Structure 1
Amino acid sequence: MASSRLRLSWPLAALVPAGFLGLFFVWPVIAIASLGFADGGVSTVLADPATWRLVAYTVAQAVGSTIVALLAGTPVAFLLARCSVPGSSVVRLIVLVPFVLPTVVVGVAFRTIWPHGGIWPILLANAFFNVAVVARTVGGMWARVDRRMEDAARALGAGRLRTFFAVTLPVLAPAFISAGSVVFLFCSTSFGVVLILGGSAFRTLETEIYLRTVALFDLSGAAALSLLQVSAVLCVLLVGLAARRKRESWFSLRAQHLRRPRGGEWWAVGAAWIVVLALLVPIVSLLVRSLSTSTGWSLDGFRALAGTGERGTLAVSGMDALFNSIRTATDATILAFILGTFSAVVLLGLARNKSVLGGVLDTALMLPLGVSAVTVGFGYLVTLGHLPGDLRTSSSLVPLAQALIVTPLIIRMVLPVLRAVDDRLRQAAATLGAKPGRVLWEIDFPIVGRTLVAAGGFGFAVALGEFGATSFLIRPEAPTLPVIIARLMSRPGQLNNQMAYAACVLLMVVTAASVLLIERFRAPNGGDF
């Protein structure tokens, strides 16, 4: 009877994350989609050849960015997973920083190198973001692949390349597919990078939805494009889920000891360091531009941002915007941390009971990562006025939208670590009379505690730089720093540019502090990122 009650309790517990997702994601998205059908926007948009050119470009740039990220991330994954060389911890830190940098910061950083933007800066900027996804996801599995299979192939006369393609790559294929699907998802929904580097010449579905909603007020057309995007995202998520399940089946393999590279392995190590140095170029370029003007080195941008010098065109000081960003990101992180941790525990319980609901819920919770933030933001304005208190005018609106994006990332960090906990420890505690709640508190949480702290820091960094939904929902009197940066970059004048660069540097410093926290508390084999 007790076992039956436990099996029933997990589906009931799943109602909590499912309810949050339904209220703050599914309902707004369906409301937007219904607008497209009601006004005939879907049929009009689908019949327009320009729509399919837009889809083709979106897919092409996402595929190109994904290929670049996979090529750049593979040698880094090898270095982190297999090699014991000086500076490995520095590599891990440098690779993670770009992933949590705000999209507008990365867009501005690449714009300092390519002032006129273009397709190549967009591809490289998207890949710049996602090298960490490849390095962490592929590297996490590569570290568990038994070297004896490779040594046997080498003993039979296979060279290093043939051994990699014939032995190692088939084992790593699920990790590559999982990483590639996530990278493709991020690149196909990239907003800030394409907006800053592409302008009106290079538009994707994401920026077109924003343009139709904010500038053209073509709500039915934007809704129709959102429907296309949601359909594509769902397909990619299903592919990623299948690959992730197969990859997680290898977690029981024992982690291999790191060793000094041998022979041709040094070429892979050298390639990894070249990638790391390339990742530093946009960051260093942005730092230099924040301090240089047409008349020489200057701190005018930082002074103006702090409100102690000429104010430029800002209605609020940059420091006020930073405090708004920190406050909003903190609220979003607290909500996402509670919901994400609870969801990870529920997904673990459903998996133990071999419930089909677990896979459905897992996929559903990942959907917010791939749906236009503008779609969700506009959906909030359409739907949330029907709730008591009218959340559309509440200061909690932006944290809710940010938490929706951060929660899936926290789940992806916490869930694999929970699954890796030796189930015999839980069984021993249950045999001694501990109830499920106490087993979680006494066994699971002490083991995954470091990952929980890292997940919180990671979530804060992502929320701090969120731009898509925030730019649409933020109140004019309380802008966040990413919104201020985008406004400054759209205005002429050297001081406005200097203030934008200074604001980017300020965001990078805060983000770097979050990354240091992540690395300080990161579990040795925890999570995808």
Structure 2
Amino acid sequence: MSAPARRTPAPIRRTSTAARVATVVPAAFIVVMFVWPLVTLARRAVADDDGAGFWQLIDRTAGWHLLAVTLAQAAASAVLTVLIAAPIVWLVATVDLPGTAILRVIVTVPFVLPTVVVGVAFRALLTGPLGFLGVTDGWAAILPAHIFLNVAVVVRVVSAAWQQIDPRTVEAARTLGATAPRAFWDVVVPRIAPALASAAALVFLFCSTSFGVVVVLGGGTARTLETEIYQQAIGYFRIPEAVALSLLQIVVVACALLLTRAVGGSSTVGAGTAPAAGHRRRPRGIRLPAALLALAWTALWLLLPLAALVLSSLRPAGAWTLDGYRGLTDGSYGDSALSAMRYSVTSAGGATLLAVVGGLLIAVPVTRGGGLPARFTALLAVLPLGVSAVTLGFGYLLVIGTLPVQVVQSPLVIPAVQALLAVPVVAGIMIPALSQVPERLRDAARTLGARPWRVLLSVDLRLTARSLCAAAGFAFVMAIGEFGATTFLARADTTTLPVLIGSLMSRPGTANLATAMAASVLLVAVSAAVIAAIEAIVGTRSRTDGEG
């Protein structure tokens, strides 16, 4: 009797020790890829200030004005996004329509698109179908693009909270004599308010570090801290000024992260479960025209820009032509768009592999007794999402100058940078998935003599395979669309498609514009296909869980 009692805890202790050791790998990766560039930035600010103090450098670059502009446009974008997303949230959370999965794909695709592609799409929209408005660039163009990008944040976060409300509480309010609007205001609104605040804070955070959209649609007049860092570092090569602005940007982002945590916790836009059909009703009576209007509203904000992009790729100068798509193979000025796409897919594939491994090395210890080291590493992994990609890219630029040429030219550099931003997404999806695996199944496998790695493969990963596939899909679309940090690192033979699109947009000539449009359509198609696959996986998992 006593012998089995002594042997039973042994595998658990070995697993816990292995879990703690496993956290060393992702922690070291994050320290090298994230902490090191930021520390290098701080050291460069002290060592290379050309005699001017921090405040003088900020004044020299109009930093305080740029800070005010950055905060103002981010706040305006957050408020407008919440207002625009409200009908779509109602549609996704309460209306049961055929093709709901397609609707979720339409909502999610803009969020995962490269920001430079979104800028190109709105340039096509504002110079094409909406040309009569007379708006081609500036903040009037940037704010709608920010709304387009971030509607998915509000829809996913708020609709998920709405789905958690017991419909019987609303019915009880109606039974007690409350009108439908009063029941909504008294029952639903208080319960979704924290999620709404969290979503707005997330949009504020994302828009405060917006880069590609401002670059493409700014027209040379709209400037933020993000774009000015790039201009000072790359355009003028004024390193002290760029470092000072970067440090100011880090402070802004840290405050935005604290605001996000304070108002709504740690909500994320991930591959959550599909909305439960039991919470939604078929539209009848007055709900039917309301649902149709909400669908039209969704198409207006989320499909019209993409339709304008496709149209402009076929009519770049007002005449129908396939020159833009033929230009995808043109390598007159370096790599062609198709070559850049092949490199983007290869790089994103490598980044996905790194992100999945890193995310699992974080998620498994958190759910398997890794203790404080595992929780600390999980927190550390989230930080790169809240730091400006341009600031991070600038840090990489400074670090690379101190490294051997063999390291600088390594094919792993860009995939590692892309993976850094995808690791927290993988971990965020896999931690709740692994937490739902019954411990008794792991105990049974250990009792049968399975080693920890065998338990992980045969129990944990087998039961969470769909979540892992969804996490890998999100990591891939994030990697293939990364623009800010990659811009600093791309060389002639490592140019990603988003970087090439940004380069084409800066060149004169209709041919370059047409090729940029066609390349953007190509990226949209790839991103949409991956998101559709993710939604199919999530939908299958939800139906299987419901049947079980």
TM-score (norm 2): 0.85
Contact 1:69 1:130 in 2 (8 A): yes
Deviation at 1:289, TM superposition (A): 0.8
Deviation at 1:267, TM superposition (A): 6.6
1:236 aligns with 2:256: yes
CA deviation map 1:408-431 (0-9, x unaligned)? 222233333333445565566667
Deviation at 1:525, TM superposition (A): 6.1
Alignment of 1:122-521 (within 5 A): 122-241=142-261, 243-244=264-265, 257=278, 258-261=280-283, 265-266=287-288, 269-270=291-292, 272-278=294-300, 279-294=302-317, 296-307=319-330, 314-349=333-368, 355=371, 360-384=376-400, 390-421=406-437, 437-521=453-537
Contact 2:470 2:534 in 1 (8 A): yes
Deviation at 1:239, TM superposition (A): 4.2
Deviation at 1:291, TM superposition (A): 0.8
Whichever residue aligns with residue 13 of structure 1, its letter is A
Distance in 1 between residues matched to 2:182 and 2:449, nearest whole Å: 54
Distance in 2 between residues matched to 1:95 and 1:386, nearest whole Å: 43
Aligned to 1:89: 101
Whichever residue aligns with residue 371 of structure 1, its letter is V
Q: Which has the larger radius of gyration?
A: 2
3-state DSSP of counterpart to 2:508? coil
Deviation at 1:87, TM superposition (A): 2.8
Report how many aligned residue pairs link the two structures: 516
Alpha-carbon RMSD: 3.0
CA deviation map 1:290-329 (0-9, x unaligned)? 111446211112112223xxx7x63332211211211111
- Return closer, same or farther for 1:192/1:148 CA change in 2, 3 Å cut-off: same
1:34 aligns with 2:43: yes
Deviation at 1:95, TM superposition (A): 1.0
Deviation at 1:247, TM superposition (A): 9.9
1:103 aligns with 2:115: yes
Deviation at 1:170, TM superposition (A): 2.4
Between stretches 412-421 and 491-500, larger displacement belongs to 412-421
Whichever residue aligns with residue 296 of structure 1, its letter is A
Deviation at 1:46, TM superposition (A): 4.4
Distance in 2 between residues matched to 1:125 and 1:430, nearest whole Å: 53
Gaps of 5+ in 2: 1-8, 128-135, 544-548
Between stretches 290-299 and 398-407, larger displacement belongs to 290-299
Distance in 1 between residues matched to 2:199 and 2:245, nearest whole Å: 26
Distance in 1 between residues matched to 2:256 and 2:452, nearest whole Å: 35
Distance in 2 between residues matched to 1:344 and 1:382, nearest whole Å: 32
Distance in 1 between residues matched to 2:422 and 2:154, nearest whole Å: 19
Deviation at 1:389, TM superposition (A): 6.6
3-state DSSP of counterpart to 2:137? coil
Between stretches 517-526 and 287-296, larger displacement belongs to 517-526
3-state DSSP of counterpart to 1:297? coil
CA deviation map 1:230-281 (0-9, x unaligned)? 2232233344446346999xx99x9571332466655763453133202111
Whichever residue aligns with residue 327 of structure 2, its letter is A
Contact 1:233 1:367 in 2 (8 A): no
Distance in 1 between residues matched to 2:333 and 2:322, nearest whole Å: 17
Deviation at 1:74, TM superposition (A): 3.5
Between stretches 412-421 and 385-394, larger displacement belongs to 385-394
TM-score (norm 1): 0.88
Distance in 2 between residues matched to 1:420 and 1:265, nearest whole Å: 37
Distance in 1 between residues matched to 2:46 and 2:542, nearest whole Å: 46
Gaps of 5+ in 1: none
- Return closer, same or farther for 1:360/1:478 CA change in 2, 3 Å cut-off: closer
Contact 2:327 2:515 in 1 (8 A): yes
Report % sequence identity.
44
